[in-house]
């Protein structure tokens, strides 16, 4: 009987299969279908939960062709599915955003792109934005603890309320120091100590010129005292730098608002920073009719009518000094605002559009101002419809620094150190209210887009309340008789 012999099992080879061979590249399977087939993944309808060798679980889902993974792992599959449920709910409600966008872009990159995408900005506004970015938002700002904060290098995802709070405080301190140093008259020639001492002793000495030898000897006999520099007023120091800080923070807030609208950030951290309100408005000075006339008298002759026109029309500085002959109608007694002087650093003076749509307007002038303008056109303005009405002695455009310098001298001469050139516009609005103008009337006259801006100038004018009481009496008298 033939024997049946079971074939011997071949001996196990020590050779590795091609899949395990280092010569054959290993391909990591990332296809979700393949992994589910192996039982390694569990679908949750939305997203996937994967068990890890450590015994923990990982959750992820796909958005726009990219995998979005939970920031950490989970102890149980239920916890991982709960995270996926939250993500799905946020997506349905429009509250979900892709954090990778904010993780891959710095504030400087986004801010530069934001400015470049704003062709609607006027050149002057663009210059102010660039200044805030260059000076306060993007560079390193020193902090009180000796460190610094450089927001420009921070990723949008890392901008927090705490970080922006520290940055705001650092900018406020730095801007205050810069402002105080800028406006401290350290370069100005200090009064002679003899003159200062003599005034303190009640001795009448001239503000300039040669000092009497007798006064000098008396000063020497008193020990030659040196006058201490007057400290800056505390309120002025505390307010210094607040405008620059407010502008920088407002710009940063606007930039981050755009990041929220573009679904790069879930929320704007700047909105939760405390203590960032607008700086207190300086209480605007108001000149009386007599003071306006006195101010004009202390200006050079070729600019005296500019003072009168500014106070009685309420035109802005750039509007006033952008007026040409063709903008004046002496017969109708009006000036028409259709442009404004435009000054941008490093560029020649040009003309731009007025501040807003409401700024395009025609303003009627009192008769005595029309007479002053007529005389000025005859004696100080070049011929031709495009000739500027008010110029420098060399025929150039009048700059704000020029009028500020002249205003400084004139206001000191009349004893009103608080007045600025812009206060002439404020005076014009106040006089219009005193003459019986309503809020819409003044809004139109000053070229404001909203009545809220016009209301800034609506305050009690000296003597107006007394006149109101007199009118009320006139109403009462007929009833009493």
Determine phi and psi for 215, rounding to 5 degrees: -65, -40
Contacts of 306 (CB under 8 A, 6+ apart): 299, 320, 321, 390, 398, 403
Q: Verify whether residue 316 is a known catalytic residue.
A: yes
CA-CA distance, 340 to 388, in Å (whole number)? 12
In eight-state DSSP terms, residue 58 is: E
DSSP label of 49: E
Residue at token pair 């710095």: 106
Q: What sections of 354-463 are H helices per DSSP?
A: 367-380, 400-414, 422-434, 439-446, 451-455
Contact 75/68 with Cβ under 8 angstroms? no
Clarify whether 360 is annotated catalytic: no
**Tokens 């516009």 sit on residue:** 425
Task: Out of 166, 317, 448, 461, pick the active-site residue.
Answer: 448
Can you tell me the distance from the alpha carbon of 142 to that of 176, in angstroms, rounded to the nearest whole number? 13
210 among known catalytic residues: no
Cα 234 to Cα 395: distance, rounded to the nearest angstrom: 42
Considering only CA atoms, which of 460, 424, 428, 459 is closest in space to residue 444?
428
Catalytic option among 247, 316, 317, 343: 316
- 425 carries an active-site annotation: yes
Catalytic hit among 422, 426, 445, 461: 422
Instruction: Determine the Cα–Cα distance for residues 476 and 60; give it in Å rounded to an integer.
Output: 81
What does the block give as tokens for 127? 């210059």
Residue 56 appears among annotated catalytic residues = no
H/E segment holding residue 351 = strand 350-352
Q: How far apart are CA 372 and CA 301, in angstroms?
A: 12
Q: Taken in order 311, 316, 317, 318, is the CA torsion positive or negative?
A: negative
Q: Which residues contact 226 (CB under 8 A, 6 or more apart)?
A: 193
CA distances to 148, 151, 166, 271, 427 from 141, in Å: 5, 9, 10, 21, 40
Check if the beta carbon of residue 391 is closer than 8 Å to that of residue 272.
no
Buried b / exposed e over 206-230, threshold 16 CB at 10 Å, is eeeeeeeeebbeebeeeeeeeeeee
Residues 457 and 442: beta-carbon distance below 8 Å: yes
> Strand 334-337 vs strand 361-364: parallel, antiparallel, or unpaired?
antiparallel
Residues carrying an active site annotation:
316, 422, 425, 448, 457
């Amino acid at each position: 009987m033939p024997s049946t012999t079971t074939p011997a099992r071949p001996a196990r080879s020590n050779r590795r299969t091609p899949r395990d061979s280092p010569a054959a590249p290993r391909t990591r399977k990332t296809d979700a279908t393949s992994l589910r087939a192996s039982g390694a993944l569990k679908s949750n309808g939305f997203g996937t939960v994967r068990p890890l060798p450590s015994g923990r679980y990982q959750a992820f889902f796909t958005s726009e062709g990219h995998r979005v993974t939970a920031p950490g792992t989970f102890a149980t599959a239920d916890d991982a599915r709960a995270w996926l449920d939250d993500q799905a709910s946020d997506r349905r409600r429009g509250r979900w955003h892709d954090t990778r966008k904010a993780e891959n872009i710095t504030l400087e990159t986004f801010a530069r792109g934001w400015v470049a995408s704003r062709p609607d900005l006027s050149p002057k506004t663009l210059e102010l934005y660039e200044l805030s970015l260059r000076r306060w938002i993007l560079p390193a700002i020193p902090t009180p603890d000796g460190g610094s904060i450089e927001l420009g290098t921070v990723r949008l995802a890392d901008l927090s309320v705490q970080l922006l709070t520290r940055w705001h405080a650092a900018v406020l301190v730095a801007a205050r120091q810069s402002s105080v140093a800028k406006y401290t008259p350290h370069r100005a020639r200090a009064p002679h100590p003899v003159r200062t001492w003599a005034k303190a002793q009640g001795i009448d000495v001239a503000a300039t010129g040669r000092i009497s030898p007798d006064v000098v000897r008396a000063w020497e006999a008193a020990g030659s005292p040196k006058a201490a520099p007057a400290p800056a007023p505390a309120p002025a120091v505390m307010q210094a730098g607040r405008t620059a800080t407010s502008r920088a923070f407002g710009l940063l807030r606007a930039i981050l608002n755009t990041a929220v609208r573009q679904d790069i950030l879930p929320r704007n951290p700047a909105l939760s920073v405390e203590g960032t309100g607008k700086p207190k408005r300086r209480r605007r000075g108001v000149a009386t009719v007599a003071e306006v006339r006195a101010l004009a008298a202390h200006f050079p002759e070729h600019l005296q009518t500019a003072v009168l026109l500014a106070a009685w029309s309420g035109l802005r500085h750039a509007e006033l000094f952008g007026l040409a002959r063709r903008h004046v109608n002496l017969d109708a007694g009006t000036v028409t605002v259709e442009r404004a002087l435009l000054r941008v650093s490093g560029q020649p003076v040009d003309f731009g559009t007025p501040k807003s749509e409401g700024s395009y307007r025609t303003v009627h002038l009192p008769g005595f101002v029309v007479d002053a303008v007529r005389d000025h056109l005859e004696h100080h303005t070049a011929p031709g419809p495009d000739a500027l009405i008010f110029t420098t002695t060399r025929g150039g455009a009048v700059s704000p620094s020029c009028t500020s310098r002249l205003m400084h001298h004139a206001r000191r001469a009349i004893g009103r150190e608080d007045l600025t050139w812009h206060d002439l516009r404020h005076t014009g609005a106040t006089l219009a209210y005193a003459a019986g103008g309503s809020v819409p009337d003044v809004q139109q006259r000053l070229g404001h887009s909203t009545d809220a801006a016009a209301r800034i100038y609506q305050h009690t004018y000296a003597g107006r309340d007394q006149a109101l009481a007199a009118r009320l009496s006139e109403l009462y008298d007929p009833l009493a008789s």
